[in-house]
Structure 1
């Protein structure tokens, strides 16, 4: 009888040790799983923050407004904003501003300079579609400025503006090949006379 009790106690002790071992190792695996989960979650959070930052960078344009506006300066605008929105943000035109030389409907782009001339002054600088080197800034140019390019008439100039408004700013010269009526030969005619961006 005593032997039987000793054997029973022995088996109970072994079962208890195995149970404790399984319980302790289960906690370790749970802790490891929680650590792995935390690592995956933080990695996903970092990726989501990066995506949000990329989207924010794509939707924001920093614009420099100079000349005949109430409060000239650098403004952070939504990339879908128009020049008129920037002017309003800058407090509007001054009394002596020449509004006829500014395309208020033009979409803004990052690093854009808008110069509002006074009455009697000529618009110049980054607010127009011409650069200091005399090249036509294809992402800002008016129809008249585009028509000054070799091989670009009124209909092609209008097609460029329409494409720019519908698809966004041109990133490379080759993007112009997407426009109906502009092929390699036409692009070669004015490639040296344009600036992107």
Structure 2
């Protein structure tokens, strides 16, 4: 009889252990469900932000088959946009277009005709120099940046490198994030630059 009672006791203990294990597993399932749902919600938010920035708008003018405004991916190059515009016309001067340049929002791509007097910078982008003589830091070449007071080859290269890594400047003050450009340097050039 003793061994029966001992056997029953072991069965009871075993059942308690199994019950405790099952209960623990259920609790773990319940605690992991909520964070998973929160994680899905958090993942959806960046996707929505990416969708908002999924395209940019550029204006194509000059010697292309279909001039107009085009919506393209932020990673597009001038070549891609010109293809969307039907390609170049026979009278286009392709030697004055930088097909490899990255496009940015509100950019104007102007393709000149053969024999048309126009600078290379104007042909490929939305005029690095504005009508009031200010330099557009989003499209200026390294040479144009060096025309700014106190900006030499090193700082000009840093500006272009920052622009390529982080995208177009949103405001002139963003230049302060560029390595080598402090408040004093910025004060010297802030009246000479523009952001478009």
Q: How many residues align structurally?
A: 151
The unaligned stretches of length 5 or more in structure 2 are 1-40
Q: Deviations over 1:86-123 (max 9, x none)?
A: 11211222232223333322221121111111223214
Specify the alignment match of 2:117 in structure 1.
Answer: 121
Structure 1 pair 104–158 and aligned structure 2 pair: CA distance change class (3 A): farther
Correspondence for 2:68 among 51, 73, 76: 73
How far off its partner does 1:63 sit? 0.6
Specify the alignment match of 2:102 in structure 1.
Answer: 107
- Tell me the distance in 2 between the aligned counterparts of 1:102 and 1:153: 26
RMSD (Å) for aligned C-alpha atoms: 2.3
Structure 1 pair 61–154 and aligned structure 2 pair: CA distance change class (3 A): same
TM-score (norm 1): 0.67
Specify the alignment match of 2:175 in structure 1.
Answer: 176
- Tell me the distance in 2 between the aligned counterparts of 1:102 and 1:189: 32
Runs of 4 or more, structure 1, over 6 Å off, are none
Q: Which has the larger radius of gyration?
A: 1
Q: Which has the higher helix share?
A: 1
The unaligned stretches of length 5 or more in structure 1 are 1-43
